[in-house]
Amino acid sequence: MSTASTNAAFAAAGPATDALADGAEQFTAHGGDWDEVVARIAARDEADRLEHDRIVVNMGPVHPSTHGVLRLVLEIDGERVTEVRVGTGYLHTGIEKNMEYRTWVQGETFVTRMDYVAPFFQEVGYALAVEKLLGITEEVPEKATVARVLLMELNRIASHAVAIGTGGNEMGGTTLMTISFRLREHILRAFEMVSGLRMNHAYIRPGGLAQDIPEGFTDFVRSIMPEIKKDLGELEALLVENPLLKSRFIGVGEISLAGAMAMGLTGPCLRAAGYPLDLRKTRPYCDYETYSFDVPVYTSSDCYTRLLLRFDECFQSLKIVSQAVERLEEVSARGSDPSNTTMVADPTIAWPARMAIATDGQGQSLEHVRQIMGTSMESLISHFKLVTQGFHVPAGQVYQTIEHAKGVMGVHAVSDGGTRPYRVHFRDPSYSNLQSLAMMGEGGMIADLVPTLASIDPVLGGVDR
């Protein structure tokens, strides 16, 4: 088409273009080529598409910064996060369902594998729930109760150390990770001494403990406490006033107290926001009301205050550990007093109450083996039934809560009167806390989402269970 005919065609189209809807763009060509007109229209459409289209990015489910097999679906605008969706279930192990096919005692072997960074909390919470169903809460020996407190508080320090070290490692501080794991190593050696295992202990049992506290355990705990304080001090010196860390943590991942309450946030993340919810104080268990310690709180929950609060809680746990060690030694000095035992006296429940760790870290008490196999047929039959069949738990249901290292953990246990749980369900704090990630992360940068997730401190074994 010639230039003259092109102009004539556009002039003829004039009345039609005037009838277009308001806001529609009109093009008038005065010579030139149709390709230029088409290019201008295409460029405008592409700009509109880029302005309104969403960019969705997968972070995980096997990303090094997701602290486990967690999937985050991010909607982003450049480097800014506009929406966060948390996808769980990639580490599902069916623990709760498997427990329905095992005895009440065997359930401890499953629950200790949920939050594998803080296993003693699951063990104690589950044992307390079963003891409530059995109606033997007041019959648990004092020595077993004190040992539970001691192990939980050591485990709280170890869990917080991992949270602090991994949070620093997200900023590129590999040294922080090595120091925190060095600290944790002291505690794992204590766990190995008392249970024979560094993780997945199944040492806490309904009615007490699997075996007695080994000789020299309290002395060993006393010997590692200065090392734990030293490592905590070194981490504090490297982190708390570090200008790089403060610039990346202060005001990042912030959530208000109202938002935290609405999202069901508990543990260090909630206490950093200013609410002193700690079940050891508000709803005591294991005689926590008789221990002297404080509940640290701050006024604004961001990555930095959550870091500071975990440091404070570690030092408070050390205070409880010191008191528990003294009580353990006092109870152990009572000789044959019933409080100086680690399992309830009821022979229909007390299994395995007479085990002893040999020099290789495993084994059973030879005296007990001789008794049940060489002197009493009734003892052998009773032991065999307890091991193979388990004990009967009266029909009913209970809900037990404890202050886990990550927050409030709940155990809902249901019995139909048999030797196996009808249903056991856990309110895992990591799972509940993760739903607040969207509120913390949306509107921030992608790089800020990484320390925000680390400051929540989820463990996916407990999330998916």
Tens of pLDDT along the chain (465 residues)?
Answer: 444 444 444 444 444 444 455 566 665 656 556 677 667 766 766 666 555 667 888 887 877 777 778 888 888 888 888 888 988 888 888 999 999 999 999 999 999 999 999 999 999 999 999 999 999 999 999 999 999 999 999 999 999 999 999 888 878 888 889 999 999 999 999 999 998 888 899 999 999 998 889 889 999 999 999 999 999 999 999 999 988 888 889 999 899 999 999 999 999 999 999 999 999 999 999 999 999 999 999 998 999 999 999 999 999 999 999 999 999 999 988 877 777 888 888 888 886 545 555 555 555 666 666 766 777 777 777 777 777 888 899 999 999 999 999 999 999 999 999 999 999 999 999 999 999 999 998 888 988 898 899 899 999 888 988
In a domain, 43, yes or no: no
Interatomic CA distance for residues 250 and 252, integer angstroms: 5
Q: What element of type H or E holds 187?
A: helix 174-195
Residue 393 CB partners (closer than 8 Å, separation 6+): 104, 130, 133, 134, 415, 417, 418, 419, 421
Helices (H) and strands (E) in the chain, counts: 20, 8
What's the structural domain count of the chain?
Answer: 1
The CATH number for 266's domain is 1.10.645.10
In a domain, 63, yes or no: no
In a domain, 439, yes or no: no
In a domain, 39, yes or no: no
Rg (CA), the chain: 30
Interatomic CA distance for residues 465 and 431, integer angstroms: 10
Residue 203 CB partners (closer than 8 Å, separation 6+): 120, 123, 151, 194, 195, 197, 209, 210, 211
In a domain, 54, yes or no: no
β-sheet bridge partners, residue 339: none
In a domain, 76, yes or no: no
**DSSP per-residue codes, 138-176:** GGS-HHHHHHHHHHHHHHHHHHHHHHHHHHHHHTT-HHH
In a domain, 17, yes or no: no
**DSSP per-residue codes, 262-297:** HTT--THHHHTTT----HHHHS--TTGGGS------
With 0-12 / 13-18 / 19 or more C-beta atoms within 10 angstroms meaning exposed / middle / buried, residue 327 is buried
In a domain, 410, yes or no: yes
Count other C-beta atoms under 10 Å from residue 97's C-beta: 13
Domain of residue 267, residue span: 103-351+390-432
> What are the backbone dihedrals phi and psi of residue 30, each rounded to the nearest 5 degrees, phi first?
-115, 85
